[in-house]
Chains A and B, each alone.
Chain A
Amino acid sequence: MTAATSYRSTVQAEARDGFGRLLLAEWTKFRTVPRWVLAVGASVALTVLVALLTAAGSASSGTGEGTADPARSGIFDMGHFTYQPLEGDGTVTARVTAQEGGARAKAGLMIRGSAERGTPYAALAVTPGDGVRLQTGYRDGGAGGGPGALPRWLRLTRSGTTVTGYESPDGRAWSRVGSVRLEGLPRSALAGMFVAAPDDVVVERRFGSESISGEPAAATAAFDRVSMVPARPGAAWQDRGTPGGPGGPAEPGAGGSTLSGGTFTLSGYGDIGPNAFADDLTKTILTGVLIGQTAIVAAAVLFVTSEYRRRTLRTTFAASPRRGRVLAAKALVAGLVSLAAGLAASCGAMLLARPMLRSNGVAPPPLWDAAVLRAVLGTAALLGVIAVFAVAVAVIVRRSAPAITIVLLLLLVPQIVATGLPLSAARWLERLTPAAGFAIQQTVARFDRAIGPWAGFGVLCAYTALALAAAAFLLRRRDA
């Protein structure tokens, strides 16, 4: 008989309660329940399926005008522009003396690549409501600065591909409004004056539903003391869209310009900038997440409540008595799994919908566009945060049935009910409930946007943080 060595538990060494170990334990719990893994897979499949359905349905609603370029159909490029050619660097200066057309009407100076639709441009405009603004591109508005009281001097200077705007109340003391870089601005560009006005939104309610449309609005403005540097003696002013110069035959409804005694009067219809009525194709493709999230929510809630129901939570707490850490580990595991699932779902939806859209004559949204990328990655992050929110609510409620109902009620119902509500009421619902998080999927600043993409995502994150704090508090205070 050998001398018996006394037994020493190895648990102590292994059970050092590092957060990594806890995370691993929770990950193992999640991974080894086939139902939850299936639910996560189902959520990916549902999202992609709805995207394909949407893409397939886009054919019947297509306009039949061949491949529609989203970069072009999503923009407005109207209004009126009176210009001279500008070779290389130069400056255009003018004074806006009068303006009509409502609080958002624009009157000012513009430098643009050509008279073609959708070319790069920089526009410095006075708006009665928003003051002086430097605007570029067809995606969103521009930098603001300065009051909009008339008369107001404006100056737009081109140097290379950079265009800088200045404004002044008297033509002597100039202050810089901002500057923009215009990629692809050709050496020989056009510079001149423009007027534009955003569409009037017309809401019409009939037969219990609302139809919303835009009506082009008119804008008129007067300019004097117009000068170009370098000056081109003898160069004539031209009107965009009409052959002649100022005073030429203006088509009715197309706007035009007149010149008398050094004062130009421009009038035009429509706006230049993003089309607030454009279809948000990316958001439509990613709408499947609305349905896919149900499975994620169910899995995340059950990840917590099944421990309450089967009493395994006591074992969990016995093994790791610091309850806040258990909650953190659970939230992290559920969030990361959902994030990965969301990434697979949104990327899969976008990629698989592409060939289908193309065969239906619709150009798919460009994947490397910043807004599209934000929508795709944001959708993945959205699912991650939703899972964390579901975990927190599950800890608060402790039972699966009410927890799932509450989470889905908060996330899904505002969006469904909003379709039947008047616009003003629907907007508040989409701003104040956790459903605001779905705003991250927007790629177009539409007229019915309730909340900006990041702000909306922030609302959801705030709800989640609040729920997590409440869950941590209750978890510590209550018996398991």
Chain B
Amino acid sequence: MSALHAEWTKLRTLPSTWWLLAALAGITAAAGAAVTGAVDTSACPDPAACREDTAKLALSGVQIGQVAAVVLGVLAVGGEYATGTIAATLAAVPRRGAVLAAKAAVVAAAVAAAGSAGVLASLAAGRGILPGNGFTAANGHPPLSLLDGATARAAAGTVLYLVLVALLSLGAGTAVREPAAAITAVLALLWIVPVLTRLAGDPRWQERLERLAPMTAGLAVQATRDLDRLPIGPWAGMGVLAGYAAAALAAGWILLAARDA
């Protein structure tokens, strides 16, 4: 419990934490609003045939906003290695598993709070922008609302996605220790697959890649319509991402316990 309190104090008193959390919420909402504003029904055969997934569209800003979660997760441990305070931390709390668990808990809580703010702002922006672009209730696009089961699942799932990405980064940062290398590796892992799928000509391989990649599988939770067209189910996809996060945390924990600080 005291480890948790110590980690919370460390996280809370770093100005960069607050900048990153603000960036997480702000970029998610701003990028989502920009993308939503750029899409209208003019390119559809007719406005009712668009079948646009408006919830997913409004929440698409998270693809960029997640960068802040990655940096926050990596710096939670990597920053201690960079400045050398990890030695003091481990002297104060010799149970290394407890240190990692406390860090994971405070990072998850902070990202969940900022992510919720970003997601709610995105949905609010989408609610305001979408009807103006032709996505009206008459065309089969009811206004975004958290009372709608699928939209609520997409919103909650997106917050969970951000938390899991932060935990994945925390594990990678603990395992790699070098913040630069860890950030590069996590961003490459998240973004490499959308690039690769563009290249793979075979649709079967595209689906396979999208099922196995952390970002595409994890973001399947944002889909609110045509679920049978998804390469992987919403919660199954979240499970894939959770698997990545668990593997990264386990690797971080083993290495933290096995190595000298």
Task: List residues of A whose CB falls within 8 A of some B CB.
Answer: 50, 53-54, 57-61, 203-208, 210, 284, 287, 290-291, 294-295, 297-298, 301-302, 305, 309, 400-405, 408-409, 412-413, 415-417, 419-422, 424-425
Q: Which residues of A contact B53 (CB under 8 A)?
A: 207-208
B201 beta carbon closer than 8 Å to chain A: yes
Given contacts A204-B44, A210-B43, contact A291 B180 (CB under 8 A): no
B201 partner, pick from A61, A295, A298, A419, beta carbons under 8 A:
A61
Q: Which residues of A contact B50 (CB under 8 A)?
A: 205-206
B74 partner, pick from A54, A295, A401, A422, beta carbons under 8 A:
A401
What 6 pairs between A and B have smallest CB-CB spacing?
A61-B201, A400-B180, A425-B38, A205-B43, A60-B202, A401-B179
Q: Which residues of A contact B38 (CB under 8 A)?
A: 421-422, 424-425
Which among B139-147, B156-164, B191-199 touches the partner chain? B191-199
B136 beta carbon closer than 8 Å to chain A: no
- The answer to whether B60 touches A419, judged by C-beta atoms less than 8 angstroms apart, is no
Q: Which residues of B contact A301 (CB under 8 A)?
A: 180
Q: Which residues of B contact A309 (CB under 8 A)?
A: 82
Do most interface residues of chain A lie in helix, strand or loop, or is the interface mixed? helix
Given contacts A53-B199, A60-B202, A297-B184, contact A402 B71 (CB under 8 A): yes
Q: How far is the CA of A295 from the CA of B67 in the complex (A)?
A: 18
- The answer to whether A421 touches B35, judged by C-beta atoms less than 8 angstroms apart, is yes
- The answer to whether B82 touches A417, judged by C-beta atoms less than 8 angstroms apart, is no
Proximity bits, B211-240, A CB within 8 Å = 1, else 0: 000000000000000100100000000000
Q: A207-B226, A287-B199, A400-B180 are in contact. List 19 more A-B contacts (CB 8 A).
A: A54-B199, A204-B44, A205-B41, A206-B50, A206-B51, A208-B56, A298-B180, A298-B184, A401-B179, A401-B183, A402-B71, A404-B184, A405-B70, A408-B187, A409-B67, A413-B67, A415-B195, A420-B35, A421-B35
- The answer to whether A57 touches B181, judged by C-beta atoms less than 8 angstroms apart, is no
- The answer to whether B49 touches A206, judged by C-beta atoms less than 8 angstroms apart, is yes
Chain B nearest CB: distance from A350 CB in Å? 15
Chain A CB count within 10 A is highest, among B41, B43, B44, for B43
Chain A nearest CB: distance from B134 CB in Å? 11
Q: Which A residue's beta carbon lies closest to that of B68?
A: A405
Interface size class of B (residues with CB under 8 A): 35 or more
Q: How far is the CA of A124 from the CA of B180 in the complex (A)?
A: 57
B60 partner, pick from A294, A420, A424, beta carbons under 8 A:
A420
- The answer to whether B195 touches A287, judged by C-beta atoms less than 8 angstroms apart, is yes
Chain A nearest CB: distance from B151 CB in Å? 15
Q: How far is the CA of A180 from the CA of B103 in the complex (A)?
A: 70
B89 beta carbon closer than 8 Å to chain A: no
A405 partner, pick from B183, B198, B226, beta carbons under 8 A:
B183
Q: Which residues of B contact A294 (CB under 8 A)?
A: 184, 187-188
- The answer to whether A413 touches B183, judged by C-beta atoms less than 8 angstroms apart, is no
Q: How far is the CA of A331 from the CA of B53 in the complex (A)?
A: 46
B116 beta carbon closer than 8 Å to chain A: no
Q: How far is the CA of A206 from the CA of B225 in the complex (A)?
A: 12
Q: Which residues of B contact A53 (CB under 8 A)?
A: 196, 199-200
Q: Which residues of A contact B39 (CB under 8 A)?
A: 205, 422
- The answer to whether B63 touches A205, judged by C-beta atoms less than 8 angstroms apart, is no
Q: Which B residue's beta carbon lies closest to that of A35?
A: B181
A290 partner, pick from B71, B195, B205, beta carbons under 8 A:
B195
Chain A nearest CB: distance from B216 CB in Å? 11
Q: Which residues of A contact B178 (CB under 8 A)?
A: 400
- The answer to whether B187 touches A405, judged by C-beta atoms less than 8 angstroms apart, is yes
B195 partner, pick from A204, A416, A422, beta carbons under 8 A:
A416
Q: Which residues of A contact B202 (CB under 8 A)?
A: 57, 60-61
Q: How far is the CA of A388 from the CA of B39 in the complex (A)?
A: 36
Q: Which residues of B contact A291 (CB under 8 A)?
A: 188, 192, 195
Q: Which A residue's beta carbon lies closest to that of B202?
A: A60
Q: Which residues of B contact A417 (CB under 8 A)?
A: 31, 35, 63-64
Q: Which residues of A contact B78 (CB under 8 A)?
A: 401
Q: How far is the CA of A279 from the CA of B196 in the complex (A)?
A: 17
B52 beta carbon closer than 8 Å to chain A: yes
A58 partner, pick from B194, B201, B205, beta carbons under 8 A:
B201
B57 beta carbon closer than 8 Å to chain A: yes
The residues in B between 33 and 50 inclusive whose CB is less than 8 angstroms from any CB of A are 34-35, 38-39, 41, 43-45, 49-50
Q: Which A residue's beta carbon lies closest to that of B57?
A: A208
Chain A nearest CB: distance from B17 CB in Å? 13
- The answer to whether A419 touches B179, judged by C-beta atoms less than 8 angstroms apart, is no
- The answer to whether B201 touches A57, judged by C-beta atoms less than 8 angstroms apart, is yes
A204 partner, pick from B45, B57, B82, beta carbons under 8 A:
B45
A207 partner, pick from B60, B191, B229, beta carbons under 8 A:
B229
Given contacts A208-B53, A208-B57, contact A408 B184 (CB under 8 A): yes
B75 beta carbon closer than 8 Å to chain A: yes
Q: Which B residue's beta carbon lies closest to that of A60?
A: B202
Given contacts A206-B51, A210-B43, A417-B64, contact A400 B199 (CB under 8 A): no
